[in-house]
Amino acid sequence: MAVISGDGVFSHACLGASDLAQSTAFYDAALRPLGVANLGPFGDNIVLYGKDKPALLILTPGNGEAPSSNGVTVGFAASSQADVDAFHKAGLAAGGVDEGAPGPRGHLPNAYAAYLRDPAGNKVCAYTFV
């Protein structure tokens, strides 16, 4: 598998939350092992996450409708299999639902990943390539 470096194509991703406090607790726990930090609130209904700049926004939808993300997955880069395992364990402990236990993924060479649903039903995963 080729390793691609340089700037990504996305400036950020947004995921809806029906209960911002509950979703914040989930992402604080699940993303900590990946080195992704809670960068604080942005207004009343958004929490920013990132490593050196905001890249993930957890928010209550501005139009007042329920969040919906069926078919959408946001993947986070992990440095090791241990980090993927820690992401999954911390996310489950913080109210996430298992969508795929940590382990090898046959569809990508050398892939090791874990999947969760956050408290609002968004699908998130952590991947590393060994």
In-domain check, residue 109 = yes
In-domain check, residue 8 = no
In-domain check, residue 68 = no
In-domain check, residue 77 = yes
In-domain check, residue 23 = yes
Question: What pLDDT does residue 130 have?
Answer: 83
**For residue 121, what is the domain's CATH number?**
3.10.180.10
In-domain check, residue 5 = no
Helix (H, G, I), strand (E, B) or coil at 20: helix
Residues 6+ apart with CB under 8 A from 118: 15, 17, 23, 26, 27, 30, 91, 95, 96, 124
CA distance linking residue 28 with residue 21, whole number of Å: 10
pLDDT tops 80 at residue 69: no
CA distance linking residue 71 with residue 127, whole number of Å: 18
Q: Which of 56-65, 80-89, 120-129 is predicted most confidently? A: 80-89
Range of the domain at 107: 13-60+73-129
Summarised one tens digit per residue, pLDDT across range 70-93 is 668 899 999 999 999 999 999 999
Summarised one tens digit per residue, pLDDT across range 8-55 is 667 789 999 999 999 999 999 999 999 999 999 998 899 999 998 889
pLDDT band for position 62 (cuts 50, 70, 90)? confident
Mean pLDDT of the chain: 89
- Total domains, the chain: 1
In-domain check, residue 55 = yes
In-domain check, residue 3 = no
CA distance linking residue 7 with residue 28, whole number of Å: 25
Question: What pLDDT does residue 97 have?
Answer: 97
Question: What pLDDT does residue 2 have?
Answer: 44
Q: Are 49 and 27 in contact (CB under 8 A)?
A: yes
